[in-house]
Amino acid sequence: MHTHNLSITTVEELIPLLKNSKIKDNKSLLIQVFCGILQTPFIYELRSLLKGRFPNAALIGATTDGEICEGRVLNHECIISLTQFESVVPVVAAIRGEDSYAIGKTIGSRLIDDSTRALILFGAGIKQDGEAIVRGIEEISDTVIVAGGLAGDDGRFKEPVAFTYDDFVQNGVVGVALGSDRLRIITDYSFEWELLGRPMGVTRAEGNRLYTIDGVPVAQVYGRYFGEKMAAEIPRSTVEFPFMIDRNGLQIARAPVALHPDGSVTLAGSIRVGDRVCFGFGNPENILDPSQMLSQRMEEEMESIFVFSSMARRRFMPELIENEILPLQSLAPTSGFFTYGEFFHVPGSNEMLNQSMTMIAMSESEKKNRRSSRLPVRDESGFSKTLKSLTRFANSALDEMEKMNTSLEEKVLLRTQELQKLNDELEERIAEQVVQNREKDQILFEQSRMAAMGEMISSIAHQWRQPLNALSLTIVNLRDAYDFQTLDDDKMEKFSVKSQRLIQKMSTTIDDFRNFFIADKEKKSFSPAAVIRETVALIDASLKYHSIELDLELDTPEELYGYPGEFSQALLNLIANSRDVLIEKRSLSPKISITVQSRMETMEITISDNGGGIADAVLPKIFDPYFTTKEQGKGTGIGLYMTKMILEDHMGGKITAHNTHEGAQFVIILPHPKGK
């Protein structure tokens, strides 16, 4: 077998190259296209040209994150690798879909037979799970070598594609099967990424979607250790710091290829709940150590070499990466591409790697050992020594922190036991305190009632002032009539009727106020509109005396369920507060508005005034017990506290306060009987 590698930037460049290559069309010809030109029309035109020239050949191709041709590292070019086999007849297949495991199983069943030695696969689409693909293939065979990788798209992480002559796959896989008794295959890989930091646990993952590590979204984990800027630029920013996992004794990486709004990431391969992961980082001097290069480990002569290397390696050391690949060209024609994930075979299974350089070397000639040209292990440079020292320092510090953490956990456990004992004692004290608080609340309630009684006495004075004045005037008129001897039976009758009417009005006032102070013994349904009117009647004289306009909008037939007397007391507190503010501010057109609106399951009652509102610094405190803004001796500071207690604790409602453009507004939300 032999391989001829061509590099082009336009389709027209390929025509004379093919003419000079003397390659003929036949079924044993495999064409691999590693395309760094991410233009669909270019790929279609290229396929058409190749199919016209080599209709019987097998073709697979993929877009890339960099190309390899004759050992050289290129970018934004297209490599056509033509391999002429002698005994192998390549078989091609393409599978589309989103279930990576099913894709692997299907392409395995189509391509693998008893003669199959190896599959070269190119995965397409950001969401493909490379590990699930190889697990699906292993359902068909776990001895067939799987090589290749996931297609790239120049670090855009949007739409890498793969293709054959007849298929253009945006989500799925294309592959070629190679089989022959004469075909010799060697696979190898280079990793050389080092562990960094403490082990962490995967706490939520599904396939290749990683959600949380130690209960924290992945983006936040990156942000915590490497900064928010790096977290915001996932996946481009994290190629140098993948997650490291142990898989069957093989240290592999898992690098993000997509970031999701919830802080989770899509990886190139699967990850499982319970996996222990560390961050990894690359040391260029270790990666490029001549004694560790693949070219130094190959002991047999081979005829063709295909390299599938991680895009992270090229981007991590762009000026040096060719030093890792070029030595292979001295062994055999070398081509390939930089991937978003690399397929690699180990005895008994295949794996999906990241941050690795993988190689598959092939030959159909007899086995020959090549001369050893191993280089001596070089001395580490100062940079490498410093980096390793810093790594050892960081990991030693982490070990010490783990020991300290264990000690702290023991101390915390002991302290927790002590706190539990204290907590048990506190529960008893709290129970006692609750009883005392209830007693205090009852005292506050009684104090509120007494304050309301004072308000009522003041209101009675206002209510009685007019009839007392009228009665006094009537008596004066009676006296004058007597003195001037004009008193007759008719005047005496009018005096008696008028006096009785005035006295009856005063008696009714006393009854109204006495009913206000009768405590509610049990909850019952009542009309809020009726209670509001009755409450307003108690303070109406005071409002009129101070020329305060009262606007009522109470048109609702709905009822409430609770304590009407307590509800009335709460309303009286709110109305009296608004009245006092309007008197203090001496508003030009003082006004109090009360509205009732029925909702689906609640009733909304608003009480507002045009007194200028409540100071922002005071507003959050107005419902606190004993808080008042009135002068000493003019306010107890318990009115609004008891109002809140009545409406929320006793009636299951809610009261809030805020400012409007005119003044303060209190909003009461209470449940309907059907909404309880």
DSSP sequence for 564-588 = HHHHHHHHHHHHHHHHHHHHHHT-S
The yes-or-no verdict on residue 456 having pLDDT over 50 is yes
Spatial distance between the Cα atoms of 580 and 620, rounded to a whole number of angstroms: 20
The yes-or-no verdict on residue 177 having pLDDT over 80 is yes
Answer yes or no: are the C-beta atoms of 572 and 607 closer than 8 Å.
Answer: no
**126 or 93: whose pLDDT is higher?**
93
The pLDDT of residue 675 = 45
- Position 634 confidence tier, pLDDT thresholds 50, 70, 90: low
The pLDDT of residue 676 = 45
Answer yes or no: are the C-beta atoms of 196 and 238 closer than 8 Å.
Answer: no
Token readout for 281 is 């980082």
The pLDDT of residue 423 = 84
Summarised one tens digit per residue, pLDDT across range 229-269 is 888 989 888 877 899 998 777 788 888 989 999 999 999 88
Query: Exposed (0-12), middle (13-18) or buried (19+): which is 262, by Cβ within 10 Å?
Result: exposed
- Position 371 confidence tier, pLDDT thresholds 50, 70, 90: low
Please tell me whether the peptide bond between 261 and the residue prior to it is cis, using omega within 30 degrees of 0: no
Average pLDDT over residues 561-584: 86
Answer yes or no: are the C-beta atoms of 317 and 289 closer than 8 Å.
Answer: no
Say which residue the tokens 């000690």 belong to. 407
The yes-or-no verdict on residue 360 having pLDDT over 70 is yes
Summarised one tens digit per residue, pLDDT across range 577-618 is 898 889 888 878 899 999 999 888 889 999 999 999 988 888
Summarised one tens digit per residue, pLDDT across range 405-442 is 778 878 888 888 888 888 888 877 777 776 666 566 55
The yes-or-no verdict on residue 381 having pLDDT over 60 is no
The yes-or-no verdict on residue 350 having pLDDT over 70 is yes
Return the closest-CA partner of residue 554 out of 579, 536, 572.
Answer: 536
> Residue 158, SS3?
coil
- Position 324 confidence tier, pLDDT thresholds 50, 70, 90: confident
The yes-or-no verdict on residue 391 having pLDDT over 80 is no
The pLDDT of residue 609 = 93
Summarised one tens digit per residue, pLDDT across range 478-502 is 777 777 777 787 878 777 776 776 5
Q: Is the dihedral of CA 409, 411, 415, 418 positive or negative?
A: positive
Highest mean pLDDT among 28-42, 362-376, 539-553: 28-42
Task: List, in order, residues 6 or more apart from 16 with CB less than 8 Å away.
Answer: none
Determine phi and psi for 435, rounding to 5 degrees.
-60, -45
Return the closest-CA partner of residue 226 out of 205, 242, 249.
Answer: 242
Say which residue the tokens 């009537």 belong to. 474
The yes-or-no verdict on residue 505 having pLDDT over 70 is no
The pLDDT of residue 404 = 77
Answer yes or no: are the C-beta atoms of 134 and 252 closer than 8 Å.
Answer: no
DSSP string, 20-69: HHT----TTEEEEEEE----HHHHHHHHHHHHHH-TTSEEEEEE-SSEEE
